[in-house]
Amino acid sequence: MAKTGTTTQGLRAAIERSGYYPALVAEAVEAAVGGDPVVSYLVHQETTFDANEVRRHVTVLVLTEHRFIVSHTDEQAADDTSPTPYATTSTESVRIERISSVVTSRVVANPESYTPGTLPREVVLTIGWGAVSRIDLEPAACGDPNCDADHGYTGSSTADDLSLRVSEAGDGPETVRQALSFAQALSEATAALGEGPSGTRR
């Protein structure tokens, strides 16, 4: 783990490198982090196309010793509520013990010749803490193809508070590497909550 000062400075530098309203984004993130030591972070900027408009937004994920912080900043064109373009920034602070799942999906090319340590082509990081759940339902059925009875519904509930996709082609290898590093740090932080002082499971 890098020293607190170095990591905090690295977070600020990453926000500035993104070039996306760095003063606005940094102020919101630093206010949310407060005086907590920064353990790991990920800054991801994405451009989307909405009809005839090009919109950018940036997501900043920060892991401290006790909290997971997510910040989104979006830019909006002038509309009925504002005569000039504007940006909205939101931050959410989640206690580490509330993190219920950390899913890291990797996409690799030519898996038959994969070499351990090779960077994935893309990474999708999905983090759940119970604020948003997706429920997928479908009619339940039995094994009898001639049965027309009502068997109710079957389905699954999935925590899906945040899903972030980074790719080597679109974001560069360093961002993919940072996404993997952040996912590992967050997974380790949630796992550590279940261990006692001596490293034994509680």
Residue-wise pLDDT for 51-63, tens only, equals 666 678 899 999 9
The arithmetic mean of pLDDT across residues 79-85, rounded, is 84
Distance CA 115, CA 70 (A): 33
* Percent of the chain whose predicted confidence (pLDDT) is above 70: 79
pLDDT tens, position by position, 134-145: 555 566 677 777
Given a cut of 80, whether residue 30 has pLDDT beyond it is yes
Assigned token pair, 116: 């351990």
Contact 127, 162 (CB under 8 A): yes
Given a cut of 80, whether residue 190 has pLDDT beyond it is yes
User: How many residues are given for the chain?
Assistant: 202
Query: What is the pTM (predicted TM-score) of this model?
Result: 0.79
Q: Sheet harboring 53-64: ordered strands across?
A: 38-50, 53-64, 67-76, 86-95
CB-based contacts of 53: which residues, under 8 Å, 6+ apart? Answer: 77
- Residue 94 identity: V
Give Dmax over CA atoms of the chain in angstroms.
Answer: 68
